[in-house]
Structure 1
Amino acid sequence: MVEPFLIAVPDDRLPAIRAKVAAFDWTMVPDAGGWQSGVGLADLKRLVDYWLTRYDWRAQERRLNMLPQFTAKVRGQRLHFIHARGDGSRAPLLLLHGWPGSFLEFEALIAPLVADGHDVVIPSLPGYAFSGRPNAPIGPRQTAELMHDLMVELFGTTRYLVQGGDWGAAIGGWIAHQHPEAVAGLHLNMVLLQAEDAVPKKPEELAWAEQRAETAKTETGYSLEQGTRPQTLGVAMSDSPVGIAAWILEKFGVWADLPRDAEGRPDLWQTFDEDLLLTNIMLYLVEGSFVTSTWMYRGRVLEGSGKFPAGTRIRVP
């Protein structure tokens, strides 16, 4: 059953988070080389200073509550989602975020897509933000079934469009693979899935595979940790808002294709403002969802959903 939803973080939660932010001991974190060794401490300190002196969660909460939000139980899993209604002249559109993102990624797209005639559905993935915590790690293939069932709940047999990035790309890929009759079109901004027997042959495919392997040497440590030891990481992070902020901010700095200076340091502030970054981080804190957000990595390992079965492919355009 679909029910309206408003964000209402308990009053005692916000000062508890703020107190931990204020108590963080910066002397315990000497600089190991700035962005060359992880998150740049100067940028992190700038964000934390804004957090303590100017950031207003309640103002952000009021703004977010202007969005049409709902929850639904799907296969026993509580899902939070935005459903903005168009005039029905175009296919419904499912927008899927990844880690360390949230439904905020698509906020600016809602109005133009609705004006174009689409119903726009933006879920929080299981274990993220205001979606319920799964009982155990859940991977992209199982999540794909939840998302497909949600769209069936909302639109019946009407075919729909899917856009996904990061985990959203894996989930969207599995939806199209498993339910091609329901998906009218698939758009991905990350390549995560291929068949088990797929082998790069063309020069451009070989070059892409080589580049991907090279990137994996320096940019996938977090993924290995979250895919193999999420419990340990969760214990370390669950009581440290600044630790969670650092873990997330680093990925925004490295992954967002930002301009860089002569020493390779990303310019976060040319693209992002503090309110946007902190609101995304707070969505991992106010419901204590950082730990369960990492379970998708473990879930992929457990369900073996990193590749499609041999001899199969996505046939949805």
Structure 2
Amino acid sequence: MIWRTATVITPFRIDIPQADLDDLNDRLARTRWPNEVADAGWDYGFPLARLKELADRWHTGYDWRKHEAALNELAHFTTEIDGQNVHFVHVRSPKPDALALILTHGWPGSFLEFLDVVEPLARDFHLVIPSLPGYGFSGPTHERGWDADRIARAWAELMRRLGYERYGAQGGDFGSGISTALGAAAPDRVVGVHVNYLPTRPDPDAGIDLSPEDEARLDGVRRLMANRPPYQALQSATPQTIGYALTDSPVGQLAWIAERFAQWTDPRSPVDDERMLTDVSLYWLTATAASSARLHREMVRATVPCPVPVGVAVFAHDITRSVRPLAERLYDIRHWSEFSRGGHFAAMEVPELFAEDVRDFFLGLPVR
């Protein structure tokens, strides 16, 4: 592979132009609301009253500058890899010989997912937290082909530039597939992969006797496969089309993301509205709705074997829950945890459980 750019790493500071914030506030003030049938609840989509509540808070009670200042307390950088700008946060552990971890988010998340686990994980690990190509401060992609394998190769190059010879990878949602792809792309450098989302599809040819609990999990997968979520169908088929609406309407972008947070989190550990609005603001202010949606189209691929040790954390309220006997047919499972709390955004919902499990897996691997 030939990288088409120099290996320059540049410090980066978040500084959204005031004109962009003024434009956001103006658009929110002029929102054109649809009607809603009586007693609709969630039957037709995101409830109008709840969305108006969130939009009003975004318009009148949310302070981007406060969150921007807090985010700038972290060390941000950008670099260009394979023709694409890549933004990342780099946090060094006080332990000079600590193992490095690269943490990868998914959609509709961002590097913000890991804010609450930076401090506990940095006690034992150097942390590299990139924004996916097409997301946030990495900016939009400009060509086809940014799938899991290409992103994994970019991550391997990023870690090489930072001087990490051996490191671990962690991810959820798209970050799960990218992390296992990284293990496959750089098995001599990746000591292990930890994921908090690992879909396991029904396999009638597996010849495995499954427990009633595992069969129930597979029934959930079958229902999901038979009733493909509308957002997924749109972003997989026509990401450009939905991108027009989301890039032009902040309330449209808010509803598109807030619905996922509402449906994918454990009701016992909801993500704070301020954190969610910061995530939505990141998509809006960087105009990356369309480019982030394209990843759903690019990510259609078969499972690639991951030859390095894998750790799995299963959270009770995730979209699907992994079935261990099926996962073990594909991966070298060394660590498996089941949690009674938490959902799809585990690092934000239950950061203490998430950080402890990540630490246990990587510190429990053989001497590197």
- Relative to the length of structure 1, the TM-score reads 0.87
Distance of aligned partners of 1:239 and 1:129 in 2 relative to their CA distance in 1, 3 Å threshold = same
- How far residue 16 of structure 1 moved from its aligned partner, in angstroms, is 0.9
Q: How many Å separate the matches in 2 of 1:210 and 1:180?
A: 34
Which residue is equivalent to 2:15? 8
Secondary structure of the residue aligned to 1:174 is helix
Aligned to 1:176: 183
Equivalent residue for 1:231? 240
CA RMSD of aligned residues (A): 2.5
Map of 1:293 onto structure 2: 292
Q: Deviations over 1:20-52 (max 9, x none)?
A: 111112244556722233223222111111111
Match of 2:275 in 1: 276
1:246 to 252, 255, 262: 255
Return the alpha-carbon distance in structure 2 between the equivalents of residues 198 and 60 of structure 1.
Answer: 51
CA shift for structure 1 position 167: 0.4
Report the secondary structure of 2:10's partner residue.
strand
> Paired residue for 1:266?
none
Instruction: Determine the C-alpha separation between the residues in 2 that align with 1:148 and 1:290.
Output: 26
Residue of structure 1 equivalent to 2:168: 161
Q: Does the aligned pair in 1 maintain the 2:261–2:271 contact within 8 Å?
A: no
206, 210, 217: which one pairs with 2:219? 210
Equivalent residue letter for 2:255: A
Q: Does 1:56 align with 2:63?
A: yes
1:92 corresponds to: 100
How is 1:51-130 mapped onto 2 (pairs within 5 angstroms)? 51-86=58-93, 87-116=95-124, 118-130=125-137
Taking structure 1 as reference, are residues 226 and 184 closer, same or farther at Cα in structure 2, changes over 3 Å only?
Answer: same
User: Cα 1:4–1:286, aligned 2, differ >3 Å: closer, same or farther?
Assistant: same
Distance 1:176 1:207, change over 3 A: farther
Looking at structure 2, the residues matched to 120 and 139 of structure 1 have their Cα atoms a distance apart, in angstroms, of 23
User: What is the CA distance between 1:144 and its match in structure 2?
Assistant: 1.2
The equivalent residue for 1:221 is 230
Single out whichever of 220-229 and 209-218 deviates more from structure 2. 209-218
Q: 1:32 to 1:82 in 2, by over 3 A?
A: farther
Cα deviation, residue 208, structure 1: 3.3
Contact map agreement 2:265 2:271 (CA 8 A) in 1: no
Counterparts of 1:234 and 1:13 in 2: how far apart (Å)? 18
Deviation string, structure 1 residues 242-265 (Cα, Å, up to 9, x no partner) = 001001000000001214xxxxxx
Query: For each residue in 1:107-159, what CA deviation from the matched residue of structure 2 results, as whole angstroms up to 9, or x when unmatched?
Result: 1111111122x110100000111003211242112111111211111124x21
* Alpha-carbon distance change, 89 to 316 in structure 1, aligned in 2, over 3 angstroms: farther
**Aligned CA distance change for structure 1 residues 154 and 198 (closer, same or farther; 3 Å):** farther
Cα drift, residue 278 of structure 1: 0.7
* Gaps in structure 1 of 5+ consecutive residues: 260-269
- Alpha-carbon separation, structure 2, partners of 1:306 and 1:17: 40
Distance 1:100 1:255 in 2: 11
What letter is aligned with 2:63?
D
Distance in 2 between the 1:151 and 1:31 partners? 54
Conserved 8 A contact 2:133-2:139: yes
Distance 1:31 1:298 in 2: 36
**C-alpha contact (below 8 Å) 1:96/1:172 kept by paired residues:** yes
- CA gap 1:313/1:175 in 2 versus in 1, 3 angstroms: farther
Query: Equivalent pairs: percent with the same residue?
Result: 35
Cα deviation, residue 212, structure 1: 0.7
1:206 Cα deviation after fit: 4.7
Distance change in 2, residues 1:76/1:142 (3 Å): same
1:59 aligned partner, one-letter code = K
User: Which fold has the larger relative contact order, with Cα–Cα distance below 8 Å and residues 6 or more apart in sequence?
Assistant: 1
SS at match of 2:162: helix
Going from structure 1 to structure 2, the CA distance change for 1:213 and 1:4 (only over 3 Å counts) comes to: same
Structure number with higher strand proportion: 2
Unaligned runs of 5+ in 2: 1-7, 308-328, 335-368
Shift of 1:314: 4.2
Contact 1:173–1:193 (CA under 8 A) maintained in structure 2: no
Q: Deviations over 1:33-84 (max 9, x none)?
A: 2223322322211111111111111111111111111111112211000000
Mapped partners of 1:4, 1:193: distance in 2 = 40
Matched with 2:304 is 308
Give the Cα–Cα distance (whole angstroms) in 1 for the partners of residues 282 and 222 of structure 2: 32
SS in 1 for 2:139: coil
Amino acid at match of 1:224: A
Q: 1:201 aligns with which of 208, 218, 221?
A: 208
Distance 1:192 1:142, change over 3 A: farther
